[in-house]
Amino acid sequence: MTRNTCKADPLLVLKDLHLCNTELSHHMPLNMKGFDLVCGFQFRKHCYPLIHGNVSNFHREVSNAYRKIHLRAKRTQAGFTLIELVMVIVILGVLAATALPRFINLRGDANVATIRAMGGAILSGANLVYAKAAILGVQSQAITNIDINGDGVTIVEVEYGYPSAHRSNGIPKVMDGDFASGWTWSANAANTVFWLTTASLGKRSGLYVNNTAVQASNCYLLYFRATASAPPTIAYVTTGC
């Protein structure tokens, strides 16, 4: 195939190119342009001329030119464009702005639920102690000690039948399991109010002399001891949960 043949019969050349394109790639069309000057095909605004000699040379030149285009396309697509990177940053920013507050809220809700669940457990335990005190007939005494399980060890200080707010001998004696390692607590000087929060919120575990660690968490419960006319009550502070 000569240059004159290419100019004279562009349909034949276009057909050959189409067949070649079908064999090499089904997703990269080749477009012939400029038959009056020189045979070639255009790809991404670049015109790739073909050296014409005969049909076999023509196909060889198509294959060589296509390989060059393919290599150039691979180099072009090797990285991300600036627009793509900006879009990724924007998407990550949107996700951070929407998901992070929800995660923080969920954590706060979990802390509140944990504190309130412990409050319920304390009241349940206090009622069991009161039942034991009633069996022993000491539920009306202002303050006394009872052995809640008869082992001679678990001695609980009770006030009007309920566990006292004493930081060592009251509520802590009723609790079991990992209470000492999972929680931190204290009481006021008169042992009338018991303060309690989780070890993670109080940043320490076990008994603490004063209530500064518990109060600093702004996520805790307060156990108010029983009186002659009322059972113990619990209040919650959850502003910092």
Residue that finishes a domain, picked among 58, 76, 94: 76
In a domain, 24, yes or no: yes
**Do 148 and 231 belong together in one domain?**
yes
Contact between 79 and 205 (Cβ < 8 Å): no
Task: Indicate the range of 58-62, 105-109, 208-212, 226-230 predicted with least confidence.
Answer: 58-62
| Residues 118 and 195 occupy one common structural domain | yes
Whole-number Å distance between alpha carbons of 194 and 183: 13
Same domain, 28 and 121: no
Domain identity same for 68 and 21: yes
**Residues 67 and 130 both lie in one domain:** no
Residue 89 lies in a domain: no
35: in domain: yes
Same domain, 28 and 126: no
153-207 pLDDT, tens digit per residue, is 779 999 999 999 999 999 999 987 789 899 999 999 899 999 999 999 999 999 9
33 found inside a domain:
yes
Is residue 163 in a domain?
yes
Residue 95: Cβ within 10 Å count: 10
CA–CA separation, 45 and 155 (whole Å): 91
pLDDT digits (tens, 9 = 90+) for 17-46: 433 333 333 333 444 333 333 455 554 455
Decide: 200 and 185 in contact? Cβ < 8 Å. Answer: no
The answer to whether residues 219 and 148 belong to one domain is yes
- Shared domain for 118 and 232, answered yes or no, is yes
Cα–Cα distance between 150 and 121 in angstroms, integer?
22
Q: Are strands 46-49 and 144-147 parallel, antiparallel or unpaired?
A: unpaired
Give the count of domains, the chain. Answer: 2
Predicted TM-score (pTM) of this structure: 0.59
pLDDT band at 55 (very low <50, low <70, confident <90, very high): very low
Mean pLDDT across 228-233:
96
Judgement on whether residues 136 and 216 belong to the same structural domain of the protein:
yes
Statement: residue 121 has pLDDT above 70? yes
Angle at 173 between CA 232 and CA 184, to 5 degrees: 85
- Between 72 and 147, the more confident residue is 147
CB-based contact 46:52 (threshold 8 Å): no
User: Does 83 reside within a domain?
Assistant: no
State the pLDDT confidence band at 126, using cuts at 50, 70 and 90: very high
User: Does 119 share its domain with 213?
Assistant: yes
Instruction: Determine the average pLDDT of the residues in 217-231.
Output: 96
94 inside domain: no
Among the candidates 55, 76, 97, a domain finishes at 76
Domain holding 7, by residue range, is 3-76
- Closest Cα to residue 124, out of 235, 229, 232? 232
Under the banding of pLDDT at 50, 70 and 90, the label for residue 57 is low
